[in-house]
Structure 1
Amino acid sequence: MILPRKSFRLSRRRLLKGLAAGGVLGASSARAAEAPAEAPAGDPAILEPRPWSTSLGPGVEDGSYGVPAPQEAHVVRRTVPWLTADPAASVSFTPLHELDGIITPNGLCFERHHSGIAEVEPDGHRLMIHGLVGRPLIFTMRDLLRFPRESHVCFLECAANTGMEWRGAQLDGVQFTHGMLHCVEYVGVPLRHVLAEAGLRAGASWLLVEGADGAGMSRSLPLAKALEDCLIAFRMNGEALRPEQGYPLRLVVPGWEGNLWIKWLRRIEVGDAPWGQREETSRYTELLPDGRARRHSFEMEVKSVVTSPSPQAPVRHGKGPLVISGLAWSGAGRATRVDVSLDGGRDWRPARFSGPDLRFALRRFYLDAEWDGSEWLIQSRAMDEAGRIQPTRRQLQAARGVNSIYHNNAIQTWRLAPDGSLENVDVE
């Protein structure tokens, strides 16, 4: 039935009276009927004019760069001071518990440096290609901008992410256990175009990629991966790379460990063998229980973590509806499923994904639950398109021992206490 137009007329006074009498609008009708309104009728926060609605605010500023609201000033990267002897060779961690969706803001992307941030002047920066090539080449930034470019959303995870948790629960905060992780949109030139310009010679199978920082950070990269999907990136999330992220050039190696994503990229040498034989990649070996070592373990394994609630994001509203949120990813391409357990892994519920489904990107998952105020042991378990399943900590230790700090993709457990606080715990 079509109602007459006059039925839709509603004065401001009638609207406010209705809100005051009916409580908070906008929740689902089912839950609104079950739960009492949080604010009593006549709440001045909705009925009375607020200061910000009765005066002019600041106007636009010439030459300014936008910043978050002052109330969000606590959302920052943080460090673990005792982790390294000097901050020039240390880590700052992404505040995963404060974020939603899959994109990490540029100013919150974790940092990992070996000799501090190289402050590079782009006009004086060069990229050299040499070795097993038809003609060695040196590119300026302007030269590179003339090549065809592509845009890709990728996660970047340090091989040592969650590394301090190998032997058991250590740090209370997802920022510190899993915060060597970010996901941004990179724009750059496919590495294969630059290599084609130089011309690959017979026998070429490996690259040595090197940065312009004081450490001369260098790593070996299989040529096959370079030709498949690597980028020489100069933009992230639409703007130029930040200095701490490799300005003006960095390598993007989708799905592979972060130490290969060389920042301040200055040199690529083409060869016929990994430079690990010259002690390059041997720095990232992982000793196994039987005395052997994993080597060239480039691809990041399937992994997930609940970011909220978590130790830095406690439950503040008490019993009732609770949105459990987290991230899943895989170096094989896509995380295809996430299950969430509230009892330490005995029973599992399927979570729902929301947002973009992109290869080599993070995926955001949610589970809508009802917390009764009892103790919960919250876990997430991811599966990927290669059929791999995220292991428990015990399963991972049985297979790889406890001597490594790299490639820890074990299931994480948060204990939710009746008072709403959470802590990092181990479960059998």
Structure 2
Amino acid sequence: MLGGLALSAVVAPHANAASGLLQPLSVEPWTRMPGAPILDHPYGLPSPRESVVVRRAARAWPVPGAASSLTPLADLHGAITPNGLVYERHHAGVPDIDPDQHRLVIHGLVREPKLFTMEDLLRLPSESRVHFLECSGNTASEWKGPSGLPVQLTHGLLSCCEWTGVRLSTLLEAAGGLAANNGHAPRWILAEGADAAAMTRSLPLDRVLDRALVVYAQNGERLRPENGYPLRLLVPGFEGNTNVKWLRRLKLVDAPLETREETSKYTNLLADGRARQFVFEMDAKSVITRPSPGHKLTTHGYYPIVGLAWSGRGAIRQVEVSVDGGRSWQPARLDGTPGDRALTRFHTGWVWNGEPATILSRATDSTGYIQPTREALVAARGLNSNYHYNAIQQWRVDADGSVKNA
């Protein structure tokens, strides 16, 4: 049985539509002669028939070098994002860094300031972990209501990879450990990138010390240039901009340095004019990726509902799906054991009867936090911010089978 239906009932309508299914398979052209040789492409590439599965830009940015591209979530399977489809967000373009010349300095309130080469870092103990990255501006298009955009443009500032690098705590140990100076104790750490924007963020040491990695590889290969090559910071669960790319400096300080990216940018303006500053974790969120806008249900009957859920505060505990606009909810099946601060794929089945419907998903994380409705989120935070939108996302299925963000 599959979603309450016999498997034969699911496949039969489509199988019957294929003429001559019970006849011998035809001999296609590609079965008649040898194919391409090995090393035709020394670095493996997707099939040309998958050429539409690419990152796409949401909009033009007014600042030279500032840009973003979004992951095609609706076209992916599983929870790991291929390196070539990991979303991008840059403040001054992608620098071309020679790893042999790149250096990482650790200084400030440490006993022995250190300068590391990439060779030094590769000789230190490393570990690999699977975590998602999400831009704090992901899904900002939906703050004021349904945007009409497809899931790639609403939720595509999101990716999940296996990251490999050195623990931040290991590097601080190599620098002799933390050290107070004239009554100033190390409570924060400043991370700075080597890009032309000199991207900098202050992070609370007690929340990143045992969590953060200084990363040089993703999904088994060295970082891509647009994802921070040769070195980046990874703080699992924190908003994307804190995971500073092209990392060149870590300074231990006693208080946040109030840089541009944590004052004029990446603060959350509330309805009463106050701003939430240093909001780091990305709250629990989910989205149905199939069916989603741009898809069309071609016939009545069974359809799988598939999506992704994630939380910056832990693992996903439960995902529920509604096909009646939120009046009733059913638990979805989760792939495997949900990982800590990682994407989790969810599945359920639905028999569409041809009538208009509204489909939604709702995530609950390991802290017990439940993904809110848009109305609840707006009531709590107002409409003045572009960041940390995590409301339940609904898709409308029309009677003709078209799926819309409406």
**TM-score > 0.5, shorter chain as reference:** yes
Aligned to 1:365: 346
Q: Residue deviations 1:292-324, cap 9 Å, x none?
A: 221111010010000111113333x32111011
Aligned to 1:39: 18
Aligned to 1:340: 321
Are the counterparts in 2 of residues 172 and 312 from structure 1 also a CA contact under 8 Å? no
Structure 2 vs 1, CA of residues 169 and 33 (structure 1 numbering), >3 Å: closer, same or farther?
closer
Aligned to 2:266: 284
1:46-125 equivalences under 5 Å are 47-61=25-39, 64-82=42-60, 84-86=61-63, 88-125=65-102
Aligned to 2:386: 405
Structure 2 vs 1, CA of residues 399 and 66 (structure 1 numbering), >3 Å: closer, same or farther?
same
Q: Residue deviations 1:80-119, cap 9 Å, x none?
A: 234x125620110000010111000000011000000011
SS of 1:161's equivalent in the other structure is coil
Aligned to 1:328: 309
Aligned to 1:350: 331
- Aligned with residue 163 of structure 1, among 134, 137, 140: 140
CA distance in 2 between counterparts of 1:35 and 1:249 reads: 49
TM-score under structure 1 length normalisation = 0.89
1:266 CA displacement? 0.2
Structure 2 vs 1, CA of residues 49 and 87 (structure 1 numbering), >3 Å: closer, same or farther?
farther
Are the counterparts in 1 of residues 126 and 165 from structure 2 also a CA contact under 8 Å? yes
1:78 CA displacement? 0.4
Structure 2 vs 1, CA of residues 161 and 34 (structure 1 numbering), >3 Å: closer, same or farther?
closer
Are the counterparts in 1 of residues 109 and 179 from structure 2 also a CA contact under 8 Å? yes
Structure 2: which 5+ runs fail to align? 1-5
- Tell me if 1:252 matches 2:234: yes
Corresponding letter in the other structure for 1:191: L
Structure 2 vs 1, CA of residues 42 and 280 (structure 1 numbering), >3 Å: closer, same or farther?
closer
Q: Residue deviations 1:351-385, cap 9 Å, x none?
A: 11114521010000011111111111111000011
Aligned to 2:203: 221
Structure 2 vs 1, CA of residues 259 and 32 (structure 1 numbering), >3 Å: closer, same or farther?
closer
Structure 1: which 5+ runs fail to align? 1-26
Deviates more, 1:288-297 or 1:405-414: 288-297
SS of 1:100's equivalent in the other structure is coil
Are the counterparts in 1 of residues 316 and 364 from structure 2 also a CA contact under 8 Å? yes
Aligned to 1:387: 368
Aligned to 2:3: none
1:291-302 equivalences under 5 Å are 291-302=273-284
1:62 CA displacement? 6.1
SS of 1:255's equivalent in the other structure is coil
Aligned to 1:271: 253
Corresponding letter in the other structure for 1:41: G
1:34 CA displacement? 7.8
Are the counterparts in 1 of residues 317 and 338 from structure 2 also a CA contact under 8 Å? no
Aligned to 2:290: 308
1:125-144 equivalences under 5 Å are 125-144=102-121
CA distance in 1 between counterparts of 2:332 and 2:95 reads: 42
Corresponding letter in the other structure for 2:189: L
CA distance in 1 between counterparts of 2:366 and 2:21 reads: 53
Number of equivalenced pairs: 395
Are the counterparts in 2 of residues 97 and 313 from structure 1 also a CA contact under 8 Å? no
Corresponding letter in the other structure for 1:56: P
Are the counterparts in 1 of residues 199 and 261 from structure 2 also a CA contact under 8 Å? no
Q: Which structure shows the higher helix fraction?
A: 1
Corresponding letter in the other structure for 1:131: G
CA distance in 2 between counterparts of 1:33 and 1:49 reads: 24
Q: Percent identity?
A: 52
SS of 1:37's equivalent in the other structure is helix
Are the counterparts in 1 of residues 309 and 316 from structure 2 also a CA contact under 8 Å? yes
Larger Rg: 1
CA distance in 1 between counterparts of 2:186 and 2:387 reads: 29
Aligned to 1:14: none
Corresponding letter in the other structure for 1:165: E
Aligned to 1:184: 161
Aligned to 1:146: 123
Aligned to 1:15: none
Aligned to 1:376: 357
TM-score under structure 2 length normalisation = 0.94
CA distance in 2 between counterparts of 1:62 and 1:91 reads: 32
Q: Residue deviations 1:125-181, cap 9 Å, x none?
A: 000011111111100000011111010000000000011211111142000000000
Corresponding letter in the other structure for 1:168: G
